[in-house]
Amino acid sequence: MGLFTKKPIGQLLTDSSDGEHSLKRTLSATNLVALGIGAIIGAGLFVRTAAAAANNAGPSVTIGFIVAAIGCALAGLCYAEFASMIPIAGSAYTYSYATMGELVAWIIGWDLVLEYAVGAATVGIAWSEYLNKLLEMFGMRVPYEWSHSPFESATDAAGMAHHGMMNIPALFIIFMITLLLIRGTKESAVVNGIIVISKVSIVVLFIVLGWGYMNPVNHAKYIPDATIYTDLQGVAHNYGGIWGILGAAGVVFFAFIGFDAVSTAAQEAKNPKKDMPIGILGSLAVCTVLYILFAHVLTGVADVNDFRTVGKEASVAYAINTYMAGYTWLANMVTVAILFGFSSVILVMLMGQSRVFYSMSRDGLVPKLFSDLHPKFHTPYKSNWIFLVLVGGFAAFVPGDIVGDMTSIGTLFAFILVCAGVMILRVTNPEIQRQFKVPAVNIVAPLGIVVCGAMVAGLGWTNWTRLGVWLAIGLVIYFLYSKKNSKLKTD
């Protein structure tokens, strides 16, 4: 068989119904929407909004959110059709196997490691930083040596040099969430639901309370005149006008990453053909509305110069403390919300990663132990333990900025392949029942490819180089192991 041999849809569906070796179907549509919101609303809302306003669009960052949401919605519609038609764990990997063949499926499965595993490690490192911000409210903090990697160092106010040894808080949160995932998907969904309610409540509180503190002067020029803004690091940005809005869309796109992780749980949904489209599109819709309202209030409460100078990454807390007298408690709760947000993002990313490798293992492309299920909890516990070591090791010993934008490239690459796959399957397998169908697929899917491709192009050649190296490593593994052990070729 060739490199582009496709896995028959019928075989995919048969494999998913293998009771003894199948994941438990415990998730409702509400659980799936909560999983999506849990993955999407992280620190991106609290950090990237101010960055995009400061460097690119000012108050019109809200329009940037709309543009980014359109790109995600186009891909989300395609994800929803696939998930309702092929309700199998594995997300874009599984969809690519059915439409574009084994080699493309391997590439996207390997590529998704960037989104899920590497993304979870990066968020774990950020979780550690914000834990110290929370502890500082009580006069405590984890020592620098035990909250940073060995490659980091800093000098304190007294002139004393500190060198990192190991990021223990980052490793701790990944370990605890791994234990939760091994315990069961339903239990993980319940905890995630509690986290989602907490952080969404804080977002809504800021919108409602902050609305009365907006200064009309800050929105007087909603779309600033086009100019070039050079930030404190000497980096030039297109600010204002159409290019500023498009630049803001590229920045805030990162705040939407995660809704596609819902599709990795298709095999654990009670009624996947109905619930998966609701989970994917519902979570994306809720988050888009919250993002636009949040950005509108934030840019109304504080001035763009606040975000550029004193606010920076803590711009939301700064805006509250400076312009909303008596609401210091809300600023503190924002820090708590960010911690909650990071936690649920890590949970959904680690869950998504183990489910992708579960499907790849069932196909023989990675070792069998990745699909071994716990005898009691029916979760891929060995896979969870392996990724605890890999992700935990990265989080504990590697600086967070090493990864850069690779997570976003991995995500956008998956979006492009899913959009293409929907069109291909409409031609090759028109007879398959589709509970949900992309409207005007010949317009929606190509637009999704164009919009996502444009955002990939904007990430620059350095990130393309990193992606190329990563994919080259994956191809070596494929030809040395996966190609020889593929069940599609050996059965």
Q: Is the pLDDT of residue 253 over 70?
A: yes
Please, which residues bridge with residue 163 across strands? 153
Q: Is the pLDDT of residue 298 over 60?
A: yes
DSSP string of 176-243? HHHHHHHH-HHHHHHHHHHHHHHHHHHHHHHHHHHHTT--GGGGTTSSPPPEEEE-TTS-EEEESHHH
Task: Please give the Cα distance from 49 to 249 (Å, whole number).
Answer: 10
Q: Is 12:102 a contact under the CB 8 Å cutoff?
A: no
pLDDT more than 90, % of the chain = 18
The reported pLDDT for the residue numbered 404 is 45
The reported pLDDT for the residue numbered 25 is 64
pLDDT digits (tens, 9 = 90+) for 351-396: 888 888 888 898 899 999 998 988 888 888 999 999 999 999 988 9
Q: What is the CA radius of gyration of the chain?
A: 22
Which band of pLDDT confidence, cut at 50, 70 and 90, is reported for residue 2? low
Max CA pair span of the chain: 72
Give the highest mean pLDDT range of 201-210, 227-236, 463-472: 201-210
Pairing of strands 161-163, 227-230: unpaired
Task: Please give the Cα distance from 199 to 340 (Å, whole number).
Answer: 7
The reported pLDDT for the residue numbered 292 is 93
pLDDT digits (tens, 9 = 90+) for 68-117: 888 888 888 888 888 777 766 556 787 788 888 888 889 888 888 877 88
Q: Is 115:348 a contact under the CB 8 Å cutoff?
A: no
Q: Give every CB contact of residue 178 below 8 A, 6+ residues apart in sequence.
A: 350, 384, 385, 387, 388
The reported pLDDT for the residue numbered 397 is 87
CATH code of the region 9-490: 1.20.1740.10
Task: Please give the Cα distance from 238 to 230 (Å, whole number).
Answer: 9
Average pLDDT over residues 146-157: 81
Which band of pLDDT confidence, cut at 50, 70 and 90, is reported for residue 168? very high
Average pLDDT over residues 458-484: 84
pLDDT more than 70, % of the chain = 84
Average pLDDT over residues 328-353: 83
Average pLDDT value over all residues in the chain: 81
Q: Where are the domains of the chain?
A: 9-490
